[in-house]
Structure 1
Amino acid sequence: MRLVARTLGAALAAGALAWLGMSGGTAGAPAAHGDGAALGAVADDAPGYAVEDFAYPGADKILAEKNIVLKRGDGHITLADCEDGTGQLQFWSRKNEEVCFEVKGDSGWLTLEIPSVYGVNGNDYATQVDMTTGDETKTFDVPKNQFAPIGQSADPDGRDFVLVEIRSSK
């Protein structure tokens, strides 16, 4: 019995010494570094949590230079310089002429505003676009690798439409 008590007492003493050594000798005080500098808790100096808001990077610059409002997306549909034969989604607008987007990954989405869109050339993705005119929203399916009239050119009344969302998937 004495052997158990001595072993238990030694273990408790060793644990207490180890705890004091890790905490710098006093409870709640920062441990001293070898050069005497106090070390604070790592969490106090670490950056905060990164919270993704899905805002389109550089949207203000794109608005100023190209008059295109890019709002939010998952990063799989991005504005690109138009190049034929690259598998881009190509939109035609009476105000912005040709506007192209790269689509990467298995799926993607992007909210934006491009006024007066009247046509789109699809790519290898199944794509749907939402467009608004006044208080009305219409969804258009974009055929793979084909030109499709959308917005004003697909509207029997010839109304002006704004492209507001692109959704693509493989």
Structure 2
Amino acid sequence: MPVKPRRRRLARRALGAAAVGTLAWVTATTGVPGGAPQHSGPTTALVADGAPGSAVEDFSYPQADKILAEKNIVLKRGDGHITLADCVGGTGLLEIMAREKTDKICFKVVGDSGWLTLEIPAVYAIRGNDYTTAVDMTVGTEEKSFDITKNAWTPVGEAADTEGREHMLVEIRSSK
């Protein structure tokens, strides 16, 4: 009985993955592909009968502690598609105005969609970019969502609240 095309593809993928794993093992243990050992330092160990180890992504924002210390902005978690950016450097950024900050806070959005959880108090306006963007904000125990107008300033938080209460920005979601 002939092998079906789907099984052939799966077999080719398995063989390709085995070849890549072997090359990675040779490189890790010798220093160069196909070369002799370069040093007598620590060796690598096989995991679970030769299967590769796994990496677990917790979506924590990289260098969040440094950003908190330098800029007093709490960045918690995200998918990496919305990142803090220098406002001076460009166009197409999400721009955030907060009463407690003298300068705008900017974020760059890349890819088809992105999300970021954070804490910025007293946010009152956000300028959108080419993405469809929504933000979640809290005031006390109440949570409010705002749709951000593309490429224009949108009043949010206390600027959109009839009581003028201070709101904290807690999440940004963007998509194309």
Q: Which residue pairs with 2:86 in the alignment? A: 81
Aligned AA (1:51): V
What residue ranges of structure 1 are gaps of 5+ in the alignment? Answer: 1-38
Match of 1:43 in 2: 47
Identity across the alignment (%) = 65
Q: Paired residue for 2:109?
A: 103
Larger radius of gyration: 1
**For 1:43, what is the secondary structure of its paired residue?**
coil
2:151 to 145, 149, 153: 145
Distance 1:41 1:64 in 2: 38
1:96 is displaced (CA, Å) by 2.2
Q: Does 1:54 align with 2:22?
A: no
Per the alignment, residue 91 of structure 1 pairs with 96
Q: CA deviation at 1:43?
A: 2.2
- Report if the CA contact (8 A) 1:67-1:96 is conserved: no
Give the AA of the match of 1:42. Answer: L
Distance 2:131 2:169 in 1: 18
Q: Does 1:130 align with 2:172?
A: no
Name the residue aligned to 1:112: 118
- Residue 25 of structure 1 corresponds to none
Deviations 1:35-86 (A, max 9, x none): xxxx997327987421000000000000001110000000000000103751
1:160 to 163, 166, 173: 166
Cα gap change, 1:138 to 1:41, in 2 (>3 Å)? closer
Aligned to 2:26: none
Retained in 1: the 8 A contact 2:125–2:156? yes
Structure 1 residue 95, shift from structure 2 partner: 1.2
The structure-2 alpha-carbon separation of the partners of 1:40 and 1:54, relative to structure 1 and needing over 3 Å to count, comes to closer
2:61 corresponds to 1:72: no
Structure 2 unpaired stretches of 5+: 1-42
How many aligned positions are there?
132
Check the 8 A contact 1:59/1:69 in 2, yes or no: yes
RMSD: 2.2
Structure-2-length-normalised TM-score: 0.70
* Matched residue type, 1:66: K
Larger deviation, residues 94-103 vs 141-150: 94-103
